[in-house]
Chains A and B, each alone.
Chain A
Amino acid sequence: MPPEIRVEGLSVWYDRHHALKQVSLEVAPGEVLALIGPSGCGKSTFLRTLNRLLEEGGRARISGRVFLGDADIYDAAADIPDLRRRVGMVFQAPNPFPFSIFDNVAYGPRLQGVTDRQALRRIVERSLQQAALWDEVRGKLRRSALTLSGGQQQRLCIARALAVEPEVLLMDEPTASLDPMSTTKIEELVAALRGRYTIVMVTHNLRQAARISDRTAFFAEGTLIEVGPTRQMFTAPLDPRTEQYLTGRYES
């Protein structure tokens, strides 16, 4: 069973800019949570606090607490590489390494010290199957990942993330740079992964949020305005700002 995520009073500053203001939120085990909101509202920032990738930029100051299961990931003793192994991430633009397809997927397991070729082969095959890419690349695993199409590259990135057997999957607008066909494939994939992973996904595509998420959170100007079951959110939002945003009338 994947873990739940509990966020308590999370704030983020970039220098003087208060990017995220006292966000508290829970994500249930195995559910798909969609994050929506206007550009610059802090949803990507929020996503990057969940695997502590935000700190790598060096400018962000973070306060508040984030629990993954029972453990506070911002605890001083927290093991960041282990956290990131448990919390996988897929980025907005497909970013496969300029290595072979095999080496891309095997990257994470190799970091953890898996060197046995048979074991690596099994992991790579299983991950590519999970990411619905196996049938398209079997027999071509030695080819450069950069020869794949954009949609295939993104599924490869998902396979790469799945190869380390994470419990949570963070997705930052994973279909923003893809064509409709590839988008459909990724959405089907997310639907197939539901339940096995806790998934948090940023999207600008409201229909996508409506199609694939169990619950939706609406962010605006660094504040969490509203979070609730997707169906209720899209039919009867509680906050007038949510309704304005969903109907295209929101102005920040």
Chain B
Amino acid sequence: MKRGMVWHRVAAVLFAIAAAGFALILGSVLWAGLPDLTWHFLASWPNERTGGGGILPELINTGVMVGLTLVITAPLGLAVAVYRREYRMRRAATLNHLRATLLSAPTIVVGLVVYRVAVGWWHWPVSLLTGCLALAVINWPFMVTVAGEALEGVPQGYREASLALGASRWQTIRRVVIPASLAQLVEGLGMAAARLAGESAALIVTAGVNVSRHWSFWAPGETLAVHIWYIRTEGLVLNRDAAAAATGVTLMVLIAVVLWLSRRIARWLE
């Protein structure tokens, strides 16, 4: 057998193992969670004392926090990426280093720093907005990376053609570069949303592990991912594992829909 053939087989076997592992996780969560995943579960409030009940506020909190975070960080990330890529930024290496460091920083550390600053110094309550701040700090290096890759994907020939027609650099960015990279930007946005929806560690300390009866930006805002952690560790109800699994299924479906939707929009834009 040729060497290339051997490596091909090895790769195929490794892929099969990885796929089987993934299927096992997915299957066991579905197996445990699907029976509990009822309309009532999705549409009712959780029981504060036992950890049982529904997940409606968690669902809303996840959507609101991820959405708000993206609304804040997407333009910022794009702005930084545009400045770095299109304006021959000085100290780009320093920025890259900072971005890479933040990108790989444990999110619990980011959460604790945000807690110290927002709750300790500014006296913000442990709340939805504080959680958003933590998510924004977590997301901006990712957003810069995603936007940077989208801009890199725009052929240099487009920029040159635009400049050669008398466009300024800003006109070139606004009229050619960003429209040409829009599909990739939307896809990146979907990836960021999926990543944020699964964030838990930083939110445990900043947004809290319970929900308020009266929904507010300044009230504690537990998300789906945090809820899973909470009922698995603190829950008292008998079916807590099933409830956690059902929440997990909901979260996975949510993420799958977001990814699918962003990809569809991206294809349509292309």
Contacts and interface: CB of A to CB of B under 8 A. Distances in A.
A81 B159 CA distance: 14
B180 A98 contact: yes
A53 B160 contact: yes
Q: How large is the interface on B (under 10, 10 to 19, 20 to 34, 35 or more residues)?
A: 10 to 19
B105 to A, nearest CB: 32
Interface in B150-202: 155, 157-168, 171, 175-176, 179-180
Contact of A53 (B158, B164, B179): B164
B171 A88 contact: no
B138 to A, nearest CB: 33
B88 interface: yes
B165 A95 contact: no
A107 B160 contact: no
Given A56-B163, A95-B160, A164-B166, 6 more contacts: A84-B163, A85-B165, A89-B160, A98-B158, A112-B166, A164-B165
B157 A111 contact: no
B153 to A, nearest CB: 11
Nearest to B167: A111
Contacts of A200: none
Contacts of B88: 58
B180 to A, nearest CB: 5
Contact of A160 (B155, B157, B159, B165): B165
B160 A84 contact: no
Contacts of B160: 53, 56, 89, 91, 95
A98 B179 CA distance: 9
Contact of B166 (A58, A81, A96, A97): A81
Given A95-B157, A97-B161, A82 B175 contact: no
A51 interface: yes
Interface string A64-102: 000000000000000001111100110101011111000
Contacts of A201: none
B176 A51 contact: no
B87 to A, nearest CB: 10
Contacts of B161: 89, 91, 95-97, 157, 160
A85 B168 CA distance: 11
A53 B155 contact: no
A157 B162 CA distance: 11
Given A58-B88, A107-B175, A97 B158 contact: yes
17 contacts: A53-B164, A56-B159, A56-B160, A81-B168, A84-B165, A88-B165, A89-B164, A91-B157, A97-B161, A97-B180, A107-B175, A108-B166, A111-B166, A111-B171, A112-B166, A161-B165, A164-B165
Interface centre among A97, A112, A164 (most CB of B within 10 A): A97
Q: Which 6 A-B pairs have the closest CB atoms?
A: A95-B157, A85-B166, A89-B164, A81-B166, A84-B166, A108-B165
B164 A84 contact: yes
Nearest to B270: A98
A159 to B, nearest CB: 12
Interface string A134-170: 0000000000000000000000010011001000000
A81 B88 CA distance: 19
Given A58-B88, A95-B158, A107-B175, A81 B164 contact: no
